[in-house]
Chain A
Amino acid sequence: MKKFVSAVLAGCMALSLAACGNSASSASTASTGGASEGSNGTTVIKIGGIGPVTGAAAVYGNAVKLGAEIAVEEINAKGGIQYEFKFEDDENDAEKSINAYNNLKDWGMQILMGTVTSTPCIAVAAETSADNMFQITPSGSAEDCIATDNAFRVCFSDPEQGTLSAEYISENNLATKIAIIYDSSDVYSSGIHDAFVAKAEELGLEIVCDEKFTSDSNKDFSAQVSKAQSSGADLLFLPIYYNEASLILTRADAVGYEPLVFGCDGLDGLVSVENFDTALAEGVMLMTPFTAAATDEMTTSFVAAYEEKSGGETPNQFAADAYDAIYAIDAAIQKAGVTADMSYSDICDALKTAITEIELDGLTGKGITWDASGAPTKTPAVYIIENGVYVAA
C-alpha cells in the first residue's frame, strides 16, 4: 500500500512539474510574439486582471476582461511599450480573488487592473498594499477599495454615486417621496444607500420607505415591494445590481405598482438579461458614465471592436471602465518612463505619482484626472431606458 501511495505521489509531482513547464513556456511564447516590434527590447509589461467571469456577477467580469483586452491590443498594435494581459476568475468571492491574485503574482504580474467587484476588491487591496503592487480597479466602487495609497479607480465611488443621485433627483424635481430597496449585505449597495440618505435629508427629500434584503434572501421581494407601494412613494431608488432589480420590477408590475425607478451603474446590464421583458424596464433612469448608444468616434469604434470580439454583445459601463483603466496605466507608464525590467514595487512607486499628473480622455469621461486619494474626477450622465435602449435624460 505504501509503495502504491508513494508511486501515485511521485506521479502527481512529475505531472505538476510538467504543468509548470508548460505554462511557463506558453507564457514566454506569447510575450515574444507581442513584443517583437517593441522599441524597448524583447520584454513586455505584464498586467493582471481579476473579476467574476462565472457566477451571478459574471456580466461585469466578462465585460471588464474584453474591454481591457481590446485596449491592450490597440496599444500593442501602435508599437512602443508592449503589454501582456492575463485575466483570472474570482466568482465575486473575496477568498477566490486573493487566490487569483497569488496566481497572477506567480505568473509575473507587475500591475493589477482589478478587481471588478467591491467586496473582493477590498480584500485584494490589502494584499497589494502589503506587496506594494500598483492597483487600479475599473469598477470597484466602494470607498475602501482605494483606501491604500497604491490603489486607484476609474469609476465613481459608492458614496459619490449616492450623493450625485440625490442631487440629481432634487435638482430635477423627480420626486418628493422616495422609497429605497437595497442589499444590506453588499458594500456597493449599502455604500450608495448611506450617502444617498444623508444627502436626501440635507436636500429636503422625504424617504418614506427604506427596505433591505441580503444575498441570502434576494429572490422574493413581495414584502419589500408591497411596503414601498403602501408608503405612497413616487420614486423607487434601487442602488443594487440588475438581477435583483429585474425581480423587483417584475414584482412591481404584477401588483400594479408604477413608480419612477432610479438606479446607479449596477442597473447597467438590466436590458441584456436573457428573455427579460424590456417593457418592464421602460422609463427606468440610471446614472452611468458610459453608454454604447453615444455617437462619438471613440465610443463607436470601441463598440464595434467589442461586438466583434464578443460575438455581437453590446459593451456596458464595466467594459468601458476597463478600457480606460488600461489607457490610464499606459499613460502613467509613459509619463513615469517605466520599463518592463522594473520590479512591481518600483513600478508601483513610479505610477503612484505619475497617475496624478495625467489627464485622460476616456470612454467614461473627457479629461479624467486622479488625485492621490485614488478617486477620479469626471462628470456623470443620466439615461432613461426607452424601448430597451438608453436615451440621454
Chain B
Amino acid sequence: MYIIFILIAISVLVAAGFLAAFLWAVRSGQYDDDYTPAVRMLFENEVSGGPKTKKPGQK
C-alpha cells in the first residue's frame, strides 16, 4: 500500500505543474484580453489566397 505515497506525490506534482503553467499564462498576459484572440484565429481561414498569413507569435 505504500505505493500510495508515490502516487500521491506524482499526482500533486502533476497538478503543481499545471498550476505553474497557469501562473505563467496569466503572467505572460494571456488572460488580459479574452476577446480579440477568438476573433483573430478565424481570419486566416476566410482570407482566400490573398494576403499571406502573419507570423503566429505576436511579440
Q: Is chain B found bound to chain A in the same assembly?
A: no
